[in-house]
Homo-oligomer: A and B are copies of this chain.
Amino acid sequence: MKKISEAVVRRLPIYLRFLNELHVRNIQTISSRDFGERLGMNPAQIRKDLNYFGEFGKKGIGYDVPYLIEKIQQILKLDQTIHVALVGAGNLGHALCNYNIYLKSNMKITAVFDDFPEKVGSQINNLIVQPMSELTKTVQSQAIRIGIITVPASEAQNVADAFVKAGVEAILNFAPSIIKVPQEIKVHHADFTTELHSLAYYLD
């Protein structure tokens, strides 16, 4: 299979979310034209993106919404349960644990870690905060595949190293710092300080 560019992969979750909205509103079929219109995207791009993975549409008709949802979920591997661990039980960590996303997909934060003594043992939702010394054991016993980092920048690399050693396959880093990992580990950054700073450029 030809290599799919990251730009394409990043659009799939946006497509999926939109399709779920359509589904809730009982819309059965969508054309790439309407699809693009609603998302502010070029319809050819949407057709091309989807076509990397298969022929999901019907000529003259469009795309069947429930079918396309199913297909994109498969592509993104969201049809299987994916366990996620989070390190850093601060405000941001709490916010993420409480978020409802995980209900829609089968992604779920199943373990939380922090090394501050006053945090260890405390409860977030139904999860008990564990010390970092438990990380490897828990990642392995719970088959955790994705790690989220919500610690200060100065600690991010240490946490990343611990995640990699424990065997996670991907990391979402919220700390405002670049982390180095082996190339087979996928890292995304979700750093709102850089978002805010780049927004400032566009002020008059």
- Residues of chain A touching chain B, judged by Cβ–Cβ distance below 8 Å, are 9-10, 12-14, 16-18, 39-40, 75-78, 82, 84, 90-92, 94-96, 98-99, 101, 105, 107, 145-146, 169-170, 172, 174, 176-178, 186, 188, 190, 192-204
Check if B199 sits within 8 Å of A172, measured CB to CB: yes
Complex partner residue of A17 from B14, B99, B194, B200, CB under 8 angstroms: B194
Whether A202 pairs with B178 at a CB distance below 8 angstroms is no
Task: Give me 8 A-to-B residue pairs in the complex whose CB atoms sit less than 8 angstroms apart, sorted by A's number.
Answer: A12-B201, A13-B193, A39-B178, A40-B178, A76-B197, A76-B198, A76-B201, A101-B196
Complex CA distance for A47 and B77, rounded to whole angstroms: 39
CA distance A168 to B189 in the complex (A): 26
Query: Assembly of this chain: how many copies?
Result: 2
Given contacts A92-B92, A197-B105, contact A202 B176 (CB under 8 A): no
With both beta carbons as reference points, the residue of chain B lying nearest to A97 in the complex is identified as B91
A92 shortest CB reach to chain B, Å: 4
CB contacts (< 8 Å) of A76 on chain B: these are 197-198, 200-201
Pick the residue among B145, B178, B197, B199 that contacts A203 (CB under 8 A).
B145
The answer to whether B91 and A200 touch across the interface, beta carbons within 8 angstroms, is no
CB neighbours of A92 from chain B (8 A): 92, 95, 99
In whole angstroms, what is the CA distance A137 to B17 when docked? Answer: 35
Task: Given the known inter-chain contacts A90-B95, A101-B193, A176-B101, please indicate yes or no for A199 contacting B146, CB distance below 8 A.
Answer: yes
